[in-house]
């Protein structure tokens, strides 16, 4: 843990500045919760009047507070905060929580106040949490610096970092009703100093925290977040709910790569690179967190379903399929043993339907048999209110089997009043339960994804891209500007083959150049105002003579001029026609938070129609490039599909690694795109290249 953060998590003494004897004041709430939390360190109260509160004296100035004190909770009017911070610094306090609001979130004047607070803190090596936050909670220390009305949450194994204080308050209350607790909760507020990236290692170091969950609305330093989170997720799972998925703020871009790469694509790519599990809802976030905190990880994704009702079993099977999980194929001897203890009408294939007469012993015995099957990696038990037995009796029979298993088991406990006592039994035993099979299947998916992530090597050296030495990358030094280079020259420096282009400004030049280059020839309109040449009729294929080029030149110019009267036309580009192959698109666009974002997918004329694309953060190792390729249909069919012959996957992977490195080496490149890259049976050739440079 960063030593500057220790006073937040291991304070020897806490001073609350801005306390009040009036119960309706927030300062009163902070003092109340701190006293009630059971915190055993020194507690000091500072306020305007020298009174007593909760048996403690109220000092009129922080300078009067005796030792020890190394954490201040400040809840004074925003205009007074800089003065109070300076007084804390003079007292030797190097950690402060600013709970007050009215800073950057309130407008320019508040932003100036916040900047002043940061200036004071940095000049005295002081760390700040907030402002505009509710503080932090540690249920094991214990410590509660919030002003929330509800009691401190129950101790648990989930650490929670939130950019929203109100969301924290709601989740604490909801979790109490759901029966799970937290180890630590930290509200970030405006993140003027401490942010989620700072807190991840600190929370991961906590012995009571098994899972970390994040609620975030943005990231201040995307690259640093990925670097830190990538290390943390190897030790403990991290789950994130990123609010604001709308693409309404997506910037316009001339290339397909820029147009398709919204900010959420960047977050998805960043979370994947870092090993962070991204959820779609708060409910899902804590469904996953509970499973990851309480369950062992599965060795694979083959799931057995055990139920006493056929309908929910089918729902569960559909839900598993939706998440890409497999129904386990049970061994014959497993099914025979299950058949021997169940009625003849029961189903012994997966899902195993024990029928409504299933007893607690049937549930426990069948689950034991399923978990002992080598072909089963995890189990989903469905327990609606049994018609002949008490649900809590079934729960008590299942709990020993679940807790002793090395394979994860989640329970879909369907019902409410009739299953309430069963729910309490499962909670006491730390068994993950969900009200419906779909949520249980989602939790299993999180366990499988976590297991697969840990089974994947964290990185490879990237020195070899599919067997081809990356010498061009090792010898080409980054330059301040590449404005004088053509895209073709730049790609050549990174070992990406391209079909040379010649610009012809007259029909006669076109015929002469074509003769020099060799037939057949492809002719394309040369105009920056026509980015999609095929759509404007600006491409001619298979020109096999000088005479054909003379005619095609005139037809091409006239046709595009009629279709795009406003287009400025320089002439035509000539290119030697490349042999048939599979066409893909690859490119990179610079994201303001995470840097270069690399795209791969279906190219040529299919790119916009299919929208078969996937994104990843640059730079890519060969293994990361291969995983990116495999996420698209374009990548999967490189191995051949029906009458389509296989293409050179290794060459496509090499080109993808290289364009990711090019984007990293040259920060002045805003966008670069190869569309298409034609992947041949041996090798790959860039057919069309576009690049946009930052003019600054």
Residue 464 has a pLDDT of: 40
The encoded tokens of residue 169 equal 């308050």
Residue 604 has a pLDDT of: 75
Q: Is the pLDDT of residue 523 over 80?
A: yes
| Confidence band of 696 (pLDDT split at 50, 70, 90) | low
Q: Is 129 exposed, middle or buried (0-12, 13-18, 19+ CB in 10 A)?
A: buried
Q: What's the rounded mean pLDDT across residues 625-652? A: 94
Contacts of 333 (CB under 8 A, 6+ apart): none
CATH of region 296-455? 3.40.50.261
Q: What's the rounded mean pLDDT across residues 101-112? A: 94
Which CATH number is correct for 582-693, 3.30.470.20, 3.90.1150.10, 3.40.630.30, 3.40.50.1820? 3.30.470.20
Residue 459 has a pLDDT of: 65
Write out the residue limits of the CATH 3.30.470.20 domain(s) in the chain: 582-693
Vertex 313: Cα angle to 311 and 317 (nearest 5): 120
Q: Which has the minimum average pLDDT: 43-57, 148-162, 476-490, 550-564?
A: 476-490
Contacts of 530 (CB under 8 A, 6+ apart): 536, 538, 560, 564, 567
In a 13 Å sphere around the CA of 207, the CA atoms on its Cβ side amount to 2
Q: How far apart are CA 596 and CA 609, in angstroms?
A: 24
| Confidence band of 262 (pLDDT split at 50, 70, 90) | low
For the segment 195-204, what is each residue's pLDDT rounded down to a tens digit? 999 999 999 9
Write out the residue limits of the CATH 3.30.1490.20 domain(s) in the chain: 500-576
154: DSSP letter: P
Q: Which has the minimum average pLDDT: 325-334, 339-348, 457-466?
A: 457-466
Q: Is the pLDDT of residue 252 over 50?
A: no
Residue 245 has a pLDDT of: 66
Q: How far is CA 182 from the centre of its chain?
A: 22
| Confidence band of 484 (pLDDT split at 50, 70, 90) | low
Q: How far apart are CA 265 and CA 268, in angstroms?
A: 5
| Confidence band of 151 (pLDDT split at 50, 70, 90) | confident
What's the mean pLDDT when you consider all of the chain? 91
CATH architecture of the domain 3-209 equals: 3-Layer(aba) Sandwich (3.40)
Q: Is the pLDDT of residue 248 over 50?
A: no
Q: What's the rounded mean pLDDT across residues 648-665? A: 96
| Confidence band of 485 (pLDDT split at 50, 70, 90) | low
Q: Which has the minimum average pLDDT: 123-132, 460-469, 666-675?
A: 460-469
Write out the residue limits of the CATH 3.40.50.720 domain(s) in the chain: 3-209
| Confidence band of 535 (pLDDT split at 50, 70, 90) | confident
Q: Which has the minimum average pLDDT: 226-240, 308-322, 381-395, 598-612?
A: 598-612
Write out the residue limits of the CATH 3.40.50.261 domain(s) in the chain: 296-455
Q: How far apart are the first and last CA of the chain?
A: 39
Torsion of CA 457, 463, 464, 470, to 10 degrees: 150
For the segment 370-390, what is each residue's pLDDT rounded down to a tens digit? 999 999 999 999 999 999 999
For the segment 664-695, what is each residue's pLDDT rounded down to a tens digit? 999 999 999 999 999 999 999 998 888 888 87
Q: Is the pLDDT of residue 227 over 90?
A: yes
Residue 246 has a pLDDT of: 55
Who has greater pLDDT, 553 or 462?
553
Q: How far apart are CA 378 and CA 407, in angstroms?
A: 5
Which CATH number is correct for 500-576, 3.40.50.1400, 3.40.50.2000, 3.30.1490.20, 2.60.40.10? 3.30.1490.20
């Amino acid at each position: 843990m960063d030593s500057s953060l220790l006073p937040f998590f291991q304070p020897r003494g806490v001073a609350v500045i801005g306390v009040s004897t009036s119960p309706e004041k927030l300062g009163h709430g902070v003092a109340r919760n701190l006293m009630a939390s059971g915190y055993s360190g020194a507690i000091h109260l500072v306020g305007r009047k020298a009174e007593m509160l909760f048996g403690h004296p109220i000092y009129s100035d922080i300078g009067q507070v005796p030792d020890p004190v190394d954490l201040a909770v400040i809840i004074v009017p925003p205009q007074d905060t800089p003065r109070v911070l300076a007084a804390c610094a003079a007292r030797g306090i190097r950690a402060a929580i600013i709970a007050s609001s009215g800073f950057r979130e309130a407008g320019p004047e508040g932003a100036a106040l916040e900047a002043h607070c940061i200036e004071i803190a940095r000049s005295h090596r002081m760390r700040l949490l907030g402002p505009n936050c509710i503080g932090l909670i540690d249920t094991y220390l214990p410590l509660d610096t919030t002003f929330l009305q509800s009691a401190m949450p129950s101790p648990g194994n989930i650490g929670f970092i939130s950019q929203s204080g109100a969301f924290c308050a709601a989740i604490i209350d909801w979790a109490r009703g759901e029966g799970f607790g937290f180890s630590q909760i930290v509200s970030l507020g405006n993140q003027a100093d401490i942010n989620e990236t700072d807190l991840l290692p600190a929370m991961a170091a906590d012995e009571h925290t098994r899972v970390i969950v994040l609620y975030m609305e943005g990231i201040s330093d995307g690259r640093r977040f990925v670097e830190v989170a990538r290390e943390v997720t190897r030790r403990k799972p991290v789950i994130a709910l990123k609010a604001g998925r709308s693409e309404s703020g997506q910037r316009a871009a001339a290339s397909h790569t820029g147009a398709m790469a919204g900010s959420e694509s960047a977050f998805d790519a960043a979370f994947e690179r870092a090993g962070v599990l991204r959820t779609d809802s708060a409910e899902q976030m804590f469904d996953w967190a509970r499973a990851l905190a309480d369950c062992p990880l599965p060795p694979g994704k083959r799931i057995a379903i055990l139920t006493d009702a056929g309908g929910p079993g089918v729902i569960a099977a559909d839900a598993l399929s939706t998440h890409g999980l497999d129904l386990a194929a049970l061994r014959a001897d497993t099914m025979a043993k299950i058949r021997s203890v169940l009625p003849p009408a029961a189903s012994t294939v997966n899902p195993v339907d024990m029928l409504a007469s299933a007893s607690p012993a049937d549930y426990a015995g069948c689950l034991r048999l399923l978990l002992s099957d080598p072909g089963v990696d995890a189990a989903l038990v469905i327990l609606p209110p049994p018609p002949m037995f008490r649900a809590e009796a079934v729960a008590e029979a299942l709990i020993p089997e679940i807790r002793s298993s090395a394979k994860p088991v989640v329970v879909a406990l369907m019902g409410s009043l009739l299953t309430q006592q069963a729910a309490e039994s499962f909670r006491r035993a730390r068994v993950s339960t969900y009200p419906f099979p779909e949520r249980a299947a989602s939790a299993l998916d999180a366990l499988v994804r976590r297991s697969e992530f840990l089974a994947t090597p964290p990185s490879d050296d990237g020195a070899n891209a599919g067997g081809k030495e990356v010498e061009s990358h090792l010898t080409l030094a980054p330059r301040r500007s590449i404005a004088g280079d053509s895209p073709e020259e730049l790609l050549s420096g990174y070992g990406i083959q391209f079909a040379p282009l010649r610009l012809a400004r007259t029909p006669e030049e076109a015929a002469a150049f074509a003769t020099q280059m060799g037939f057949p020839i492809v002719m394309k309109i040369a105009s920056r105002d026509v980015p999609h040449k095929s759509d404007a009729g600006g491409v001619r294929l298979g020109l096999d003579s000088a005479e054909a080029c003379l005619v095609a030149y005139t037809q091409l110019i006239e046709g595009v001029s009629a279709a795009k009267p406003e287009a400025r036309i320089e002439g035509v580009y000539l290119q030697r026609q490349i042999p048939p192959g599979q066409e893909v698109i690859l490119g990179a666009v610079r994201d303001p938070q995470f840097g270069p974002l690399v795209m791969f997918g279906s190219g040529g004329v299919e790119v916009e129609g299919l929208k078969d694309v996937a994104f990843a953060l640059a730079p890519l190792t060969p293994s990361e490039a291969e995983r990116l390729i495999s996420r698209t249909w374009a990548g999967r069919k490189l191995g051949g599909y029906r009458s389509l012959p296989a293409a050179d996957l290794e060459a496509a992977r090499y080109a993808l690694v290289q364009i990711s490195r090019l984007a990293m080496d040259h920060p002045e490149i805003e966008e670069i795109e190869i569309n298409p890259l034609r992947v041949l049976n041996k090798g790959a050739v860039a057919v069309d290249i576009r690049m946009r440079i930052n003019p600054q």
